[in-house]
Amino acid sequence: MNYNRVVCFDLEMCCWNNDGVGTTGEIIEVGLAEVDLSQGEIVKRAQYYVKPEKDEISGFCFELTGITPKKVQKQGRPLDQVMKSMIKNFGGPNKIYASWGRDDEILRQECLDKGLEFPFKEFLNLATLYRMKYRLKDKRIGHKAAQEQLNIEWEGRQHSGYVDAYNLAKLALAIL
């Protein structure tokens, strides 16, 4: 296990807003940004679009994420191929993966549903670590708000997996 490297990742899923209630479906984007803690820098980034097997990208989802059905049709690949690329380019069980919240559980469940091996062995929930470090016992805080509290500039469009993973990597460098 390489404890000097952490792969920050963010998922975007098909999503809908029905009568003010948000729901999510299959993963349509995985954004990754790897940090080298000893060097204090982001060393690698990637973005993968995933073709959903049964869900469709709604107008609400497009407005939120900027991901169009056409983009996913052209650039997307099945989840098993994306997982192979992630493991090849970032490592699987030999790396520590981190997200804001429980994206690992979302990915784990979708892998289970599709009969795929789950590639992570070590996982960090940076939201939990942040709340512990700054003694926010019962308070939930979003990724962007946490970053702003530390005066780390948010770059890019929120709800893009690629952008969110990059920003999470910047936050990880500040709190790990």
Model pLDDT for residues 58-71, shown as the tens digit of each residue: 999 999 999 999 99
What is the predicted pLDDT for the residue at 2? 85
Domain ranges within the chain, ordered by starting residue: 5-175
What is the predicted pLDDT for the residue at 119? 84
What is the predicted pLDDT for the residue at 98? 98
Q: How would you class 157 by CB atoms within 10 Å of its CB: exposed for 0-12, middle for 13-18, buried for 19 or more?
A: exposed
For the domain made up of 5-175, the CATH class stated in words is alpha beta
Strand positions, DSSP E, 37-173:
41-49, 96-99, 122-125
pTM above 0.85, yes or no: yes
What is the predicted pLDDT for the residue at 19? 87
Residue with tokens 């500040």: 174
What is the predicted pLDDT for the residue at 96? 96
Residue numbers in the chain where pLDDT is lower than 50: none
What is the predicted pLDDT for the residue at 63? 95
